[in-house]
Amino acid sequence: MYSPLRKDFVTLTLGEQHSRSYTNGKHRRQSCWRKWKQLSRLQRSLILFLLAFLVICGIFSYPSLSEQWKALSDGSVKEDWVDVENEGLRPIHPGLIPKVVPGVVQEESPEPQRPNAPVLPKPQALKKPPSKRGPPALQKRGNISEWQVKDREEPANRREDEEEKETKTVISWRGAMIEAEQGTDPQPSARMKEAAGPAEGEGASPLPPVSVKPVDRAQAVREAFRHAWKGYKAYAWGHDELKPISKTHGEWFGLGLTLIDALDTMWILDLKEEFEEAKGWVEKELSFSKNVDVNLFESTIRILGGLLSTYHLSGDPLFLDKAKDIGLRLMPAFNTPSKIPYSDVNIGKGTAHPPRWTTDSTVAEVTSIQLEFRELSRLTQDPQYQKAVDEVMQQVHRLDGKYDGLVPMFINTNSGKFTHRGVFTLGARADSYYEYLLKQWLQGGKKEPELLEDYLQAVEGIKKNLLKQTSPSKLLFVGELSHGRLNPKMDHLVCFLPGTLALGAHNGLPADHMELAVQLMETCHQMYVQMETGLSPEIAHFNLQNDNGRDVDVKPADRHNLLRPETVESLFYMYRFTQDSKYRDWGWEILQSFNKYTRVPSGGYTSIGNVRDPMSPLPRDKMESFFLGETLKYLFLLFSDDPELISLDKYVFNTEAHPLPLWPSAS
C-alpha cells in the first residue's frame, strides 16, 4: 500500500512510461483490452490455441510431477546418500562407494576416487558385546549410559541392519578417505565357539556343507603392506617417513629409515619385487657418510638391527657391509667419562654428545642396543662392539638406586649413576631395558646369569609394586610408581610385556609369568576394544574408583595412536605359545580398525589424533617407520600358519622386530 505522497513522488520522477506500472488495476485492465481489440482475428485465434494447448499439457503431466515431489518431501530419495550431519560438508555420492565382497580381500584400485570435499563418517554404531570373551562389563565400546539409552530406544533388529550398513560405508575425513572395512568378520575363536555351545543343528542331522571361503588374513596383511609401500614409494622414496595426506615426506636422520626398517618385513612377507627395488636403493643410494646427528638407540634398533636381520634372511653381504659401516660410525657415542653412551652421534664427523639440556641418557636407550652390537661383533669377529655394550649392562647391573629390580628412567653419562630416582615405569624410557635382559640371555645361549637374575628380580618387582586391578572388571594393569604412589596409568608401550613374559615362560622361566602374560594381554586388548575406533590410545588411565564405570579412560592429551606394534607383537607370541585362536581374532580386529581409520586411499597409513572419535579421528599425516618394520610384520606372523617362519627357538626379535639368530652354541 502506497501513501498518496509516495505515489506522486514516483509519478513525477519516472515520467509517463514508468508511471504506468504504479497506476491502479483498473487502468491496467482497460489498456490490455484495448490491445487485444487491436489484434487481427488470426492473431487472436493463434494465441487462444496456444493457451488451450498449454492447459491440456499441464493436466496430463500433473500425476507424475506430484509423485516426484512427494518422494522428495518424504525423504525416501535421501536414503541413497551418505548421511552427513555436519553443515557445510557434502555427502559422497553412492557411485563412489566401493563394494565390499565378504570373504574376499579387496584389491585396491589403481587410483582411488575421492570426493572433492571432505566428508565425515557417520558415528560408529556401538558394538553389541561379543558373546563370551572377558568380563561382562568390558564388552562395550563407548559410554555406558549411551548404551543403555540406545538399547531402550531402538529395536534390536533395526540396530543390526544399521550396523551392517555402516560397516560398508566409505567414510572420510580431512582430505583422507577411509575405505570400508575389508574382509569379513573374524572367525570365532575356539573359546568363543566353546562358550556358545553346540551350533544349530549339531547333534541332529548334519546340514549340507556350505562352502564359505575363509578370509586369508595373512594375505590381507600383505595387501596392507603393499598399500603402505605404494604411498612411501610415490611420495617419500628414500626418505625417512611418509606423510601420506600431504603426499610428501618427513626427515629425521635423512637415511631412508622406513625403507631400511621394512627390508626384512618384505622378505618375510615374500614381497620379492618390492624387496629387490629397496635393495637397489640400499646399494646405490644409501650413504652413512653424512654430517647428521642421529639418536644412538633409534638408529641402532632400526638401521643396524634392520640391516643385520636382512643380511641373515637374504644372505646378501651388501647388508652386512652397510651394517658394519653404520655400527662403526655409532661407536663414538661410547666415548664418555662413564662409558654410558651419549644419546646422539654425528655419523659424518664421528662426534657424540648428550641432548642440549642435560648430560643424562635414557635408561631404556642405553640398555636396548646390546642385541645388535653383540651380533655385529659375532659376525665381524671384532669384539669392540660387544665390549662397549656389555660394559653398560655390567654397570647397570651393579648400580644402586633400583627398587626391587625396577630401574629409574635416566642415567648420567658423567657419573654413570641413575638420576631422577623415584619414578618406576614399564613404559617410555624404561620399557626395553626389561625386554633386553631376557633377550640377551636367550641370544647368548642362557649363559649370562646376571642378565637372568636381573630379569627375574624385575618381574618380581613388577608383581610386588606395579600391578593393580581396575574396579569395574578387575582388569590387571601395570601402573607407574611415582615417589611411593601408584599412578594408574599405562603406556601402550607396556603392551610388549605379555609377549616378553610368555617368551620367558616358553624358555623355562616360572609358569606364573605366563599367567601374568595372559591377564595383561587381556588388558591390552581391552585398551583397543573399549575405544570407539577400536584403536588403543597412547596412554590409558585405569578406573580404580567407580565399580560401574568403564575400566579404561583416556586424557585428552593421550588420545593419539601412532600405529604402534606392542599389542600385536604380544598377540603374536601368545598365539605361537598357546595356539589359542582368540589372539588371532584380536589381531584381526586391530588390522580392520587400522584399515578403517588410518588407511589413506592414495597410499599409506597415518597416525591419528583421537581414538575416541570415529567421526573425527584427526589424521596426523605421518606413517612411522615401525608400522612397516614391526606392526605389519607381527600381524603377518600372527596369521601365518607356519611356526617355522622365524621360529622363536631359532631367532630373537630385537625391539624393532628385526629377528636376529640365537647364537649357534645356544641350541
CA angle 354, 260, 445 (to 5 degrees): 80
Task: Indicate the length of the chain as a whole number.
Answer: 667
CB of 624 to ligand DMJ, least distance (A): 7
Q: DSSP letter string over 244-255?
A: TTTTEEE-SSSS
Catalytic option among 532, 566, 624, 630: 566
Catalytic residue among 241, 431, 491, 656: 431
**Residue 392 C-beta: closest distance to ligand DMJ, Å:** 17
Instruction: State in angstroms the smallest separation of the CB of 524 from ligand DMJ.
Output: 13
Spatial distance between the Cα atoms of 272 and 561, rounded to a whole number of angstroms: 30
Q: How far is the CB of 375 from ligand DMJ (least distance, A)?
A: 17
Sequential DSSP letters for 519-536: HHHHHHHHHHHTSTTS--
The Cα–Cα gap between 581 and 616 comes to 32
Residue closer to ligand DMJ, measured from CB, 523 or 654: 654
When the beta carbons of 498 and 601 are compared against ligand DMJ, the nearer one is 498
Q: CA-CA distance, 313 to 499, in Å (whole number)?
A: 23
Cβ proximity of 607 and 624 under 8 Å: yes
| Kind and range of the H or E run holding 539 | strand 539-542
In the complex, the smallest distance separating the C-beta of residue 493 from ligand DMJ, rounded to whole angstroms, is 6
For residue 117, give the C-alpha cell: 570435499
Cβ atoms of 232 and 603 within 8 Å: the answer is: yes
- Measured from the CB atom, the residue of 626 and 639 that comes closer to ligand DMJ is 626
Min. distance of Cβ 117 from ligand DMJ in angstroms?
34
What are 624's three cell numbers?
Answer: 612411522
AA identity, residue 417:
K
Beta carbon of residue 630, minimum distance to ligand DMJ (angstroms, whole number): 6
CB of 297 to ligand DMJ, least distance (A): 8
The answer to whether 307 touches 324, Cβ cutoff 8 Å, is no
Footprint of ligand DMJ on this chain (CB under 6 A)?
Answer: 432, 493, 564-565, 626, 630, 655-656
Q: Is residue 202 annotated as a catalytic residue, yes or no?
A: no
CA neighbor of 144 nearest in space, from 518, 570, 472, 401: 472
SS3 579: coil
Question: What nine digits make up the cell of 647?
Answer: 621360529
Joined together, the cell numbers standing for residue 612 give 575416541
Nearest-approach distance from CB 564 to ligand DMJ, in angstroms:
4
171 vs 366 by CB, closer to ligand DMJ: 366
Task: List, in order, residues 6 or more apart from 174 with CB less than 8 Å away.
Answer: 118, 245, 616, 618, 619
What is the C-alpha to C-alpha distance for residues 410 and 310, in angstroms, rounded to an integer? 32
Query: Over the Cα atoms of the chain, what is R_g?
Result: 34
Q: Which is nearer to ligand DMJ, 493 or 539 (CB)?
A: 493
Look up residue 337 and give its three cell numbers. Answer: 667419562
325 noted as active-site residue: no
Angle between helices 370-380 and 305-314 (to 10 degrees): 50
d(CA 113, CA 170): 11
The catalytic residue among 532, 538, 585, 589 is 538
Q: Is 153 a residue of the active site?
A: no
The shares of helix, strand and coil residues in the chain, as percent rounded to the nearest 5, are 50, 10, 40
C-alpha cell at 253: 636422520
Rounded to whole angstroms, the Cα distance separating 363 from 109 reads 46
In the bound state with ligand DMJ, the residue whose beta carbon lies nearer, of 344 and 656, is 656
For the bound state, the minimum distance from the C-beta of residue 409 to ligand DMJ, rounded and expressed in Å, comes to 14
By beta-carbon proximity to ligand DMJ, the closer residue of 377 and 567 is 567
Using CB positions, name the residue nearest to ligand DMJ: 655
Which lies closer to ligand DMJ via its Cβ, residue 310 or residue 655?
655
Angle at 94 between CA 91 and CA 96, to 5 degrees: 90
**Choice between 173 and 626, CB closer to ligand DMJ:** 626
Closer to ligand DMJ by CB, 472 or 604: give it.
604
**Given 298, 448, 558, 580, the catalytic residue:** 298
Give the three cell numbers for residue 444: 647368548
- Taking CA 144 as the corner, what is the angle to CA 139 and CA 146, rounded to the nearest 5 degrees? 120
Residue 432 CB, shortest distance to ligand DMJ, in Å, is: 5
State the minimum distance, in angstroms, from the CB of residue 590 to ligand DMJ: 14
Quick check: 144 and 548 in contact, CB under 8 A? yes
**Closer residue to ligand DMJ (CB): 100 or 406:** 406
- C-alpha closest to that of 390 among 401, 404, 406, 376: 376
Beta-carbon neighbour count of residue 387 at 10 Å? 14
Buried b (16+ CB within 10 A) or exposed e, 276-312: eebbeebeeebebeeebbbbbbbbbbbbbbbbbbbbb
Nearest residue (CB) to ligand DMJ, 183 versus 306: 306
Q: Residues 295, 247: contact at Cβ < 8 Å?
A: no
160 is catalytic: no
Task: Please answer whether residues 614 and 597 qualify as being in contact, where contact means their C-beta atoms are separated by less than 8 angstroms.
Answer: yes
CA pair distance 156, 101, nearest whole angstrom: 25
Catalytic residues: 298, 431, 538, 566
